[in-house]
Amino acid sequence: MRAMRRPQRVLVTGGAGFLGSHLCERLLRDAETEVLCADNYYTGSRGNVAAVLANQRFEVMRHDITFPLYVEVDRIYNLACPASPEHYQYDPVQTVKTCVHGAINVLGLAKRLRAPIVQASTSEVYGDPAVHPQTEDYWGNVNPIGLRACYDEGKRCAETLFFDYHRQHRLTVKVARIFNTYGPRMAMSDGRVVSTFILQALRNEPITVHGDGGQTRSFCYVDDLVDGLIRLMDSADEVIGPINLGSAREVSIGDLAETVVRLTGSKSPIVRGGPRPADDPCRRRPDVTRARETLGWTSSTPLEDGLQRTIDYFDGVLARLPA
Ligand code: UDP
């Protein structure tokens, strides 16, 4: 008789968030995988996981990762943390706790279970980078007492914890440094540039470019990013990172505004010159050599295609809003 294979149980913290919900959906495509999603719904929502709620292999629990979590799983993705400047600066003390206490709690869990764990770290660990494009061995340029520090330093400390658990407890850790990611289910209120510009364009409101729009970012479509996270989890134990995941195409915020206006056919004027947020990085683009060589991964969705899908999503959301 053939031995029954037990399903692979995967915990996704922050599983009802933007990235987390896409990751849960993608993991559930494998019929041998069960997904436990933990979320405190601070920026995530039940709506984000509505499409998979009926799936017998999916379970959601309301849990704040700053408190210990006792569950039995085989693998862990730690995505719990607000990621947009507007959200993480709203309650900065809680942001630090989510990064640091959250990391301690999931690492403790992973240690007891001997489970491999992927950490969603961030390009913000590079701060306002003096090295361009950013390679993983660059130590960064972060203001430790600025408005972004709760997130930047919180995520840096989380990386420290991951590498110390690896060295001290031989834990299989995998640290991804995630660059700007966009797509359907970004929160409408998160103030991030892609969702903000698309909503402004769809409503024919002025597009608010901070500064002269010369600052740059590299935007990765969410499906590509999720693919990178899964490849990282599935990689050999020796692959611990940190590893940049992001788009290699750098665009200025001014060009992004023009592209969004063109794709939506909007009448919105583009208004430049608004104040730049404190410590706003001037340039950001990942060196993705390591991801390509180690994981065989690159971000493949062209910006215009990804933006179009995101525009269609927000169009649908606006159409469903009460008049
Ligand atoms: N930005 C902008 N107008 C907006 C929102 C954002 O010009 O309405 C700029 C912001 O100043 C920054 C870039 O877009 O230079 C990306 O901002 P976002 O908050 O999306 O993410 P960040 O990469 O800064 O975390």
Q: Give pLDDT tens digits for 215-239.
A: 999 999 999 999 999 999 999 999 9
Domains and CATH numbers, the chain: 8-184+220-248+285-300 (3.40.50.720)
φ, ψ (nearest 5 deg) of residue 151: -85, -50
Greatest CA span in the chain, whole angstroms?
Answer: 71
Residue type present at position 108: G
The per-residue pLDDT for 7 is 80
CB of residue 276 inside a 6 A radius of ligand 1: yes
Residue 2 confidence (pLDDT): 56
What tens digit of pLDDT does each residue of 174-222 get?
Answer: 999 999 999 999 999 899 999 999 999 999 999 999 999 999 999 999 9
Of all residues in the chain, what percent carry a pLDDT higher than 90?
A: 95
Ligand 1 atom nearest to CA at 276 = 11
Amino acid at 276: R
Question: So what's the pLDDT on residue 3?
Answer: 60
Answer whether 121's CB lies under 8 Å from 19's CB: no
Report the separation in Å between the CA atom of 159 and the middle of ligand 1, taken as the mean of its atom positions: 24
**3-class state of residue 115 by DSSP:** coil
The alpha carbon of 213 and the centre of ligand 1 are apart by a number of angstroms equal to 10
Please state, in angstroms and as integers, the Cα–Cα distance from residue 12 to each residue in 20, 25, 96, 232, following that order: 7, 11, 19, 15
Does the C-beta of 252 come closer than 6 Å to ligand 1? no
What is the rounded CA–CA span in Å between residue 247 and residue 249?
5
* Residue 75 pLDDT: 98
Predicted pLDDT at 322: 87
Ligand 1 centroid, distance to 193 Cα (angstroms):
5
The pTM assigned to this predicted structure is 0.96
Ligand 1 pocket test, candidate residues 18, 197, 217, 282, most atoms within 8 A of CB: 217
The fraction of the chain above a pLDDT of 70, given in percent, is 98
Supply the mean pLDDT for the chain: 96
Sites in the chain below the pLDDT cut of 50: none
